Chain A
Amino acid sequence: MEDAKPTKQSRLNGKEEAQPMKRNKQRVLMLSSRGVTSRMRHLMKDLECLLPHTKKDSKLDVKSQLYLLPELADLNNCNNCLFFEARRHEDLYLWAVKTPNGPSIRMHVQNIHTMDELKMTGNCLKGSRGLLSFDAAFDQDEHWRLTKELFTHIFGVPPGARRSKPFIDHILSFSILDGKIWFRNFQIMEKDPLQPEGPPTMSLVEIGPRFVLTPIKIFEGAFNGAVVYRNEEFIAPAKLRRAGPHTKMDRYRKKLFAAKERDERKAARALPEDEFSVPKVFG
């Protein structure tokens, strides 16, 4: 939320007293529902240590009482909320919410890779402010624009956030591909590690985590409100699993169908009784 109040700095600076400096003040409440798996929990942990302006809270017990969350955020002095909703111990949904008045975006999280994986070799200061990078597709549709704005609030570390450090050494990139948001986090290396004395060339090394978000719905309020956007292409993972090609039901149905067809075939192929058949001749 923007704050028009004069900050400490501007008060100290006599010159800027006349025009109070505007600050970007964001705090994010981060919590999950009950029933998250370790991988989801680790993802949360990673995000928490990347974003020093988050406040982590304990798991929310009941998924149906999401209306509690804006209150909870308010209690924690937060104006954003990231809620990880786990379903069936396998599907993860992410609510990115601007509290208390909305909007809120519900997304499906896929392809989670956490920082623990040894493939990602980058590293960065804990609490350094990360750059945010969006691709041009975020400016094309209204719902993407809204998403971008919200992500700017949630994933951008405001200056002077508690526990934040003064230098910049990583970049969070959001890219839209295939109707999904792909999240990557890279370390910025300004020197070639092989030639530290050579000319400064910037290169990136992935730190992690990485995940893919599929927006499902955008609500007008915080965890409630009118649906202002709905992703038609999204099919709930449970439904997908149910519609999988090799369910037991399908196999059984196929078997039944085959048996029925076989019977019909048999009946159709039965020959009429021959005039020289044994019972006719000798009967």
Chain B
Amino acid sequence: MGKALASAKLKAKPSSAKQLAQLKAKQAPKAKPVPVPVVEDAEESGSGSSESEDESRGEEESEIDEADGGVDQEGLKRLVDLLEDGEGLDEIAKAQLEALNNDEGSEDEDEDDSDDDEGGWEDEQAEEEQAQREEDEEGDEDESGSQEDAGDDDENMANAEEEAEDDKPRANPKAMKRMRELIQLDPTLPWTETLVTTWPETHEKIDPSDDLNREVSFYKQALQCAQKSKALAAKHSLPFTRPTDYFAEMVKSDIHMERVRSKLLDEAAAMKRSEEAKRQRDLKKYGKQVQVEKTKERAKNKKDILDKVASLKRKRAGGVDDLRDDEFDIALDETLKEDRPPPAKRGRAKGPEGKSRMSRSARDSKYHWGSGQAGGKHAKANNRESLDNFDYSRGRGGKGSSKGKGQGGGGPKAKKRLGKSRRHR
């Protein structure tokens, strides 16, 4: 908000200045006549709201003030001039001051005590004179403040008044210094009375719209001051740290702190949740990526092979025609062999030492010529016995009656062959 407002202020400044200039031009003749309250009063009498009543009450008051001050307005004006000049203080002013003094009586006893020197006189005089002047000004202030709501005319009026104020000096360091010295605490007071510490640095270089840096800077200031204060407190033997068994009412109630804590926990949980979700999303994305890559690679491989085949075909077509198909196949194999991964081994599986996994006898029994129940190449071929056997119920081939293979004599050894789906698990 502050940022936006500040920037808005920056932006708006020229335009409002322009407006002011316009208003100034418009209001210049109007603003000159001094007795503002009279004009105001006339205008005020028109509106009948309750606010205007208050207004008019304030008005009366200021008028009364006017009347009071009207007696020696000239003198006052001169005084003002003199004061604004600075040091100059002559007999007339003194005389008038005394006259005023008689009116007002003594406000401040300390003041009166220190009135012997001229500075004191001047202060006193300045105070009183300004008090007089300000009563007028305050009237104006209030009017301008409360009239802002009223309407355009009134706003213009307020602006005009502000314009009129512009002629006055912006700051009066001397007066401020004097006031500060008036209200200042005794410098001999021990530190424990005020607990004030001053940070030796400023925040000049911080960009006010940079939230983080700004807060860090404020934090730094507070932290350093707190540390300094702790040392000072130790020096002045002021109790600083609260003992753990000291319980008292806190600024924020337990209920409120519980709410704060639960909010913190909620936030932490939400953060965790979102992080987890993010991780899952990433994983998913990664998995998908891997899959996509794989399919791409496969497609690429296939394409490569096809390309190669095509190029080979072209080569052959352009060159020698008398090659036979077989030779082409061989050439193709040779070409593809280069970049194809070594094909899965065909044929019999070999053991780790390159030896056959089957023993000689096993191989013999499996591949030998001749028939017999022990197997062999003709194990499945019919012989006389099997030819005559029409018992389908058991034994090898018994079941396969539909195929018309009346193979009998399966023997007790023959196991029932499982279905394909169950065989290839």
Name A's B-contacting residues (CB within 8 A). Answer: 2, 22-24, 49-50, 62-67, 87-88, 98, 101-103, 110-111, 115-116, 118, 121, 123-140, 142-143, 145-146, 149-150, 152-153, 156-159, 165-169, 171, 173, 175-178, 180, 182, 184, 186, 188, 190, 202-204, 207, 212, 218-221, 223-230, 232-233, 235-240, 243-245
Contact = CB atoms under 8 A, between A and B. Distances in A.
B198 A134 contact: yes
Contacts of A202: 223, 226-227, 230
Per CB-CB distance, the 8 closest pairs between chain A and chain B, nearest first, are A133-B225, A226-B130, A24-B193, A142-B173, A178-B208, A167-B242, A173-B222, A111-B2
B423 to A, nearest CB: 65
Given A133-B221, A146-B180, A220-B127, A226 B133 contact: yes
Contact of A136 (B170, B201, B223): B201
Given A176-B202, A177-B208, A230-B170, A149 B218 contact: no
A133 to B, nearest CB: 4
Contacts of A128: 242
A202 B19 CA distance: 52
Contacts of B202: 135-137, 140, 176
Nearest to B148: A238
Interface in B175-227: 175-177, 179-180, 182-186, 188-189, 192-204, 206, 208, 214, 217-219, 221-223, 225-227
B332 to A, nearest CB: 72
A247 to B, nearest CB: 11
Nearest to A122: B252
17 contacts: A24-B189, A102-B179, A115-B251, A121-B260, A126-B251, A127-B249, A131-B226, A132-B196, A133-B229, A138-B198, A142-B173, A202-B223, A224-B134, A226-B172, A235-B16, A240-B8, A240-B16
A2 B187 CA distance: 11
A142 B170 CA distance: 13
Nearest to B177: A142
A138 to B, nearest CB: 7
A101 B107 contact: yes
A208 B64 CA distance: 46
Contact of B131 (A152, A221, A230): A221
A126 B55 contact: no
A216 B256 CA distance: 36
- Most A C-beta atoms less than 10 A away, residue of B9, B16, B138, B179: B179
Given A229-B170, A235-B16, A133 B1 contact: no
Interface string B249-279: 1111000110110011000000000000000
Contacts of B251: 49-50, 115, 123-126, 207
B194 to A, nearest CB: 5
Given A171-B225, A202-B223, A224-B135, 5 more contacts: A123-B250, A135-B199, A167-B240, A173-B225, A228-B175
Contacts of B186: 2, 22
Given A131-B226, A168-B233, A229 B172 contact: yes
Given A167-B241, A224-B134, A226-B130, A204 B219 contact: yes
Contacts of A116: 256
Nearest to A65: B58
Contacts of A145: 176-177, 180
Given A132-B197, A153-B183, A175 B146 contact: no
Contact of B239 (A66, A167, A219, A240): A167
Contacts of B173: 142-143
A110 B5 contact: yes
Nearest to A189: B226
B229 A131 contact: yes
B12 interface: yes
B172 A228 contact: yes
B221 A135 contact: yes
A19 to B, nearest CB: 10
Interface of B: 1-2, 5-6, 8-9, 11-13, 15-16, 19, 54-55, 57-58, 107-108, 127, 130-131, 133-135, 137-138, 142, 145-146, 148-149, 165, 168, 170-173, 175-177, 179-180, 182-186, 188-189, 192-204, 206, 208, 214, 217-219, 221-223, 225-227, 229-230, 233, 238-242, 246, 248-252, 256-257, 259-260, 263-264
B172 to A, nearest CB: 4
Given A124-B251, A167-B241, A168-B233, A131 B134 contact: no
A157 B229 CA distance: 15
A218 B2 contact: no
Contacts of B138: 67, 223-224
Contacts of B177: 142, 145-146
B239 A64 contact: no
A220 B218 contact: no
Contacts of A23: 193
Contact of B134 (A63, A123, A124, A221): A221
A47 to B, nearest CB: 11
Contact of A177 (B189, B192, B203, B219): B203
A123 B5 CA distance: 30
Contacts of B2: 110-111, 180, 212
B56 to A, nearest CB: 10
A168 B240 contact: yes
Nearest to B149: A88
A175 to B, nearest CB: 5
Contacts of A165: 248
A27 B135 CA distance: 27
Contact of B183 (A150, A159, A180): A150
A157 B238 CA distance: 14
Contacts of B197: 131-134
A244 B252 CA distance: 39
A103 B179 contact: yes
A102 B176 CA distance: 11
A168 B222 CA distance: 14
Nearest to B134: A225
B180 A64 contact: no
A220 B126 CA distance: 10
B19 A204 contact: no
Contact of B198 (A63, A118, A139): A139
